[in-house]
Amino acid sequence: MKVFLIGALLVCSPIFIKAQTHFKIDATYANRTLVLDSLYDNTYAINKLRFYLSDIVLIDTNDRIIYTHPKKHILVDLKHPTSQEVHFYNSLSDSTANLRLQFGIGIDSTTNSKGAMADDLDPVNGMYWTWQSGYINVKIEGTKQREEKSEEFQFHLGGFTAPYNTYRTITRPYGSLITIKMDQFFKQMTWERMFIMRPGEEAVDLINQFCTSIHSSL
């Protein structure tokens, strides 16, 4: 009798039957996967690209949230390819066609106000400003060739209070690939400053340019 009850539970409880899908985040240059420390257009080389994804949800055609990722904040680091894959585990039988993917770039103000935290938010990851108690939402470092010499650039984009809040919400058609086109990002830049390391208008401008360079595809 006990065996029968256990068997019935397994058959009648769909929560145990889970489908898996995922999307990958790929940084590209000229439509090719970006390779760290490689020189592009004889001008640009990126040696560090890290950013936070937050509050990932799937939205249906009726604007209903049908799935919320259990991990609120995910640190994506191009030096660790496994961090570029985000997996969904759900019991939805519907197709992912016509769904929208929504996520934040960066860390929201509520989380920032709590100070340094653990796991992906651990300051050991190099994405926290101890001098002003706030997270770096996007970190881009590398070199740019200028007048036959190589100059370093460092863009540490953060800030969670008005008017320099750099947290952004992105909504794109759901696809298996999210692409950040770094050539598009660089083309929007004036390159007036090679080091942006604190909240301000320049950080706001660059985070907006970064977000407009994010695209989705099947």
> For the segment 2-54, what is each residue's pLDDT rounded down to a tens digit?
444 434 333 333 333 245 578 999 999 999 999 999 999 999 999 999 999 99
**Whole-number Å distance between alpha carbons of 162 and 151:** 32
Model pTM score? 0.88
Across the chain, what does the average pLDDT equal?
A: 89
Mean pLDDT value across residues 177-202: 96
**Whole-number Å distance between alpha carbons of 153 and 185:** 14
C-beta contacts of 40-43 below 8 A and 24+ residues apart:
40/183, 41/183, 42/145, 43/144, 43/145
Q: With CA atoms as reference, report the closest residue to 211 among 117, 134, 106.
A: 106
User: 214, 172 in Cβ contact below 8 A?
Assistant: yes
| HEC secondary structure over 8-40 | HHHHHCHHHCCEEEEEEEEEEECCEECCCCCEE
Q: How far is CA 169 from CA 59, 78, 103, 105, 201, in A?
A: 14, 21, 6, 6, 18
Extents of the domains making up the chain: 17-217
> For the segment 125-157, what is each residue's pLDDT rounded down to a tens digit?
999 998 887 999 999 999 999 888 999 999 999
